[in-house]
Structure 1
Amino acid sequence: MDSYPFQKTNWETYLGANNLFFFARSLLFLGLCIWLSFIPVSPGHTPFYRWGLLIIFLLQLFGLYLYASRLKPRSTQFYSFTSLFDLVFITLLILYTGGVTSNFYLLYYLSIPLAAYQLGFSPGLFLAFLASLFYIAAIMPHIRELFLGDLLIRISLLWVFAAGVGKLSSFLKTSEAKLMQVFDTLNQRTSELEKSQIQIETVYEASRSLGEIYKFEQVVDEILEITQKVLRYQHFSILLLDKDKEALLLKGKIESDQKFKYSDPPKIPLTGITGSVLKDNKGVRIYEVKDDPRYIPGLEGAHSEMAVPMISQGKIIGVLNAESKKVGAFSEQDQKIFSILASSAAMALENASLHQKMEELTVIDELTGIYNYRYFVGKLDNELKRARRYHQSLSLLMIDIDWFKRYNDTYGHLFGNLILRDLAKTIKVCIRDVDILVRYGGEEFVVILPQTDKEDARQIGERIRSKVEQTQFEDEKRRLKVKLTVSLGVATFPENGTDQEELIKNVDQALYLAKWKGKNLICTL
């Protein structure tokens, strides 16, 4: 592969990396200076030619500097250009310093071998041929003054130097390439061993940290992080069995080095390679997916795949799956490391899932399935902090069932509980995804409305009131059917309160006002 002659934009670095090249140009420049200082002007030429050649040479040096430092050409392009320039320049130098009598032809012996060394045997001979033609053209007017034997010796030496240095260069480059290939192989094997050892140690270490995470989404994120940063897989997915064990849920994936997590995970059928892993309860490593009848096309351009089951407490909870666009990308060692990660991931996901269920039990109202008062206190505090920070409105809706005690006394507490459960469902239909519905206590509900002013909150409240009024509430056997109404109060931050206590107090007063005015109303302060 060709390399760049310049790696930095200063002459010091260039001198260190290209000593021969710089030495040749230095000799050429020194020769020009000597010629200007000591050699008389040839008959028929004016001093202008000398200064012109010197200026051309200096401009060429500056041009080479800009060309190499900014465009960073390949070495073959760079040395081809400079070698052709040298041939022309040396020929002009010979022409204007006496032709046959000029000794500047010796610069050919420096320029051509250097070019042969950099460019190779064949280009070196071609440049020697051009140099021979240029030299003969430069001395042609006085060629008879030169002994033919001297001319042949000068040209022959040029060809010998070009051929010898070119062959030497080819041999050295071939030997270097072979040696580098051996070093590359050794380095690759060493690197693979070191990488494997580091991966095993890192995965074991990361497995410990997985066990200390109790948030399900954080566990998924950590698994993706380990796979991306440690295993360096560019195409990877975390698939978990759904509750009914009829499909796999895609909880997270890495695609072209980008991480994705899904709160509403897509469902994947229990077929293909991942399906067989679940069925057989063992990992698989596919060398070429096109040769495997189980493979279902997914990743475009995929050639190899590896999948291992995630097993926790003796039961399979999902699959870790990796794909690659390379044939045979995964080794036996990769599968062992992948299995270690899958085992740790399974335990961590199971623990996080159990922890999440325990947390939900403490903040979810068992009867209605919505959040309870304990959750409401913490959530309202967080939403108030956010509203203050970003100078946004925040509203509360407090909802109370009218004459609820009468329904309980008439139809019994079991039917009353059904009313509470169905009312929660009815309210959910009327609010936005960002709104938070809470059972405040008894027959009272509260809705937290982030980024909502008083007028918008009133419209949402009216939508709830109207929907409840139109809804018919029934028991499970549909023998009892009743209509009911609700009263609502609205309070808004910061108009009706700047802290939690004041805001709850005012929304309660607004609800009391709606009750006092005749019920089935929505009131604000």
Structure 2
Amino acid sequence: MRSLFKNLSLVPAKLRDKLITAFSLMSVIPLLILGYLAVTYIFPHNRDIGTVSYIIAMGVLIAFLGFSLAVSIIKPIIKLSADARRMADGDMTGSIAVDREDEVGVIEDSLNKITDKVRENMESLSSYGKEIGKLNLKINDNILAMQSLLQVGSIISKSTRITDVLELIMSKLSDLPFVGTAAIFMKDEDTGQLKIKASVNYDKDIALHHAAVQLFDDAMASAKPMVFDKGVHGQHAVNEFKDIYGVENFVLSPLFLQGYVIGLIFTGNALKDFTYDKEDISMLQIFVRQLNIAIENDILSRKAEALQVKDELTGLFNRKYIESQLDEEIKRAIMYQRPCSFAMFDIDDFLKFKDAHGGALSAGVIKSIAVNLKEMATDVDKIGRLEPDMFAIILPEKNKREALMLAENIAKKVSGMKFEVSMGRKASLTISGGVSENPIDGVSAKELISHAMQSVKKAKLQGKNKILG
């Protein structure tokens, strides 16, 4: 019965039908009633007041029912509008109570579904935002790492000292978010044992524990990076290493020179539940490759220096060549019982001159003095630049007296040179010298050089611009 009443009523009706019905009840039917009353009373065939009252009461009742029906339509629409405005303002926390089966109910249910979907999408966006934030941090870290690699590559290309390169690499490695401590170990050329060459946040006083030696040997034997993080368990040596060196995770990366393992880089951190990803390992290996290049460049540079015999500024022989040639000349002189002398010259107050007039002018002075030495030496003499302001000459077939005479002539020539230091202003320099002879003052290059050096020092103490033997 209740279902029949519901089907016969306007409850399940569409909003359009309800609006038409409401309009009819509030407008059309009352008009008809008024028309009926007018006809009846204009043409009064029936003057029954009770009937008229009854008809008017029915009209009012019908109008009231129409009004009530209209209110029942408008009120949920107003509430629905308020809920829609709340959602439009971004408040997706609540939901709309669905208690109707008409179009308003359909709209309420649809809005609830839309709200649920929007809320789900917002949660997804929030999750994506966190992931994007992590990705941005990773990108920023990679950019900083690439800048560090470029800086390291730049100083390697400039043939910077290997110790400076190692320290820079350590500094840049420590900037990586997954590196808290790092150290470079290389095999000693004589003993073959690993020696620490550079480190950051690493206690150099801690001797290599047997656990470290075991793991280092394993890494170098494998010739590939060994990674130890939260995914590695159960190895006694690993756990012991972590306890001793205060790390939770670490990587051992072998260093190579011409295909042979010569050491390794240790990098570690104390992060809990940390796992190295492929990008982390790849970044570490780029640093390792750069370090390999730096080490190889250093060795090649040292070999080139060993082969080099000329001073770049003056074209004179360098110290190493002079020392080796002096030994050869002494051996020859002893074998053939011939004299061999050695002369050394140091420019007086050259550092003061350089500070006053600059490096460029000072370099020109050095080259001018070198030219004069070449002009005064013979073809068999060998002239060298031992230090920035120190020169030397190997004098085969000359005894000390002859060497002193030549050295004094050189000193006079230098003191007479004029160097333009500014517009219309010139300056001069003097030299102090020392002479030694084999075998009187020594039978080796080291002894002759030492005797000549002592004579130079005495000459300076005696007022400079002197030659002593």
Normalising by structure 2, we get a TM-score of 0.40
Return the index of the structure with the highest Cα Rg.
2
